[in-house]
Amino acid sequence: MGVRVMVLDEHRLLAEALASALKLRGHRVLAAAAPAAGAAELVISRAPEVCLLGTATPAEPGVFEPVVRIKRERPQIAVVVLGPVPSPRGIAAAFAAGASGYVRHDERIEGVERALAKARAGEVAISPQLLQGAFAELLNPAAQPDDEGSRLLRLLTPREVEVLVRVAEGEDTRLIAAGMEIAPSTARTHVQRVLMKLGVGSRLEAAALAARTGLLDRAGPVQVAADFPGGP
């Protein structure tokens, strides 16, 4: 039996891709959105069985305020967080806010489905491996953790960063070209270079990688074109 679910993520492309995959597997998706605000109101008004809430920055203060409000006003709604790993503090913050589960951004669709089923049944939805890894990092923090997002960001030119941001927002080649005031062929070249540098095979994979590593948050808002009008 399918789950009545909502998918909310900061990046619309990821939300819509996950929603489409869940629909194909028989789940009833009430909404797929990337709300800048009002996430709690949207979930409360639609009243799904489970809300999948994606965030690239789970450890930041206030990120899970929507979860707190949802659980206060509609405690029957289960919330499963989609977030990056490793993020032990983010995992702890999610459960402290009232979330029923935590799933990696790069988890397979089967793993997401298992989390949905567990959360709907009132069970804790987190893999033992993920929980073990979170506890291990909390108990034995690395002295100099590898910041994958910053490392990847250094591989990209300012123009390529802007392209990646636009890809993550779901823009196609035509919209990228229009927004950056470049030819479609140039936009396609930029996209291919981004995919090559990130070591991924598709735009969806690039967006997922950027979300998982927090790369887009380090890049900041789409102000690259203004800062680098003459970029390559």
Q: Within the chain, where are the H helices?
A: 12-24, 39-46, 65-73, 88-97, 109-120, 128-139, 148-155, 158-168, 173-180, 184-198, 203-213, 215-219, 224-227
Question: Can you tell me the mean pLDDT for 17-33?
Answer: 94
The pLDDT of residue 220 = 58
> Is there a contact between 50 and 119 (Cβ–Cβ < 8 Å)?
yes
The distance of Cα 91 from the centroid of its chain, to the nearest Å, equals: 14
> Is there a contact between 29 and 8 (Cβ–Cβ < 8 Å)?
no
Confidence of residue 78 (pLDDT cuts 50, 70, 90): very high
The pLDDT of residue 175 = 94
The pLDDT of residue 143 = 43
pLDDT higher than 70, residue 8: yes
pLDDT higher than 50, residue 209: yes
Cis, bond preceding 128 (omega within 30 deg of 0) = no
How many beta carbons lie within 10 A of that of residue 84, not counting itself?
21
Distances (CA, A) of 175 to 14, 169, 183, 222: 18, 11, 11, 14
The pLDDT of residue 128 = 82
pLDDT higher than 60, residue 228: no
Q: How far apart are CA 74 and CA 77, in angstroms?
A: 6
For the packed helices 39-46 and 65-73, what is the interaxial angle rounded to 10 degrees? 30
Kindly report which listed range (44-48, 68-72, 143-147, 177-181) carries the lowest average pLDDT score. Answer: 143-147
What integer best gives the mean pLDDT of the chain? 85
Three-state DSSP at 209 gives: helix
pLDDT tens across 162-171, in order? 999 999 888 9
Query: 3-class secondary structure for 36-47?
Result: CCCHHHHHHHHC
Higher pLDDT, 219 or 186: 186
Share above pLDDT 70 across residues of the chain, in percent, rounded to a whole number? 88
The distance of Cα 216 from the centroid of its chain, to the nearest Å, equals: 10
Confidence of residue 84 (pLDDT cuts 50, 70, 90): confident
Confidence of residue 67 (pLDDT cuts 50, 70, 90): very high
> Is there a contact between 125 and 118 (Cβ–Cβ < 8 Å)?
yes
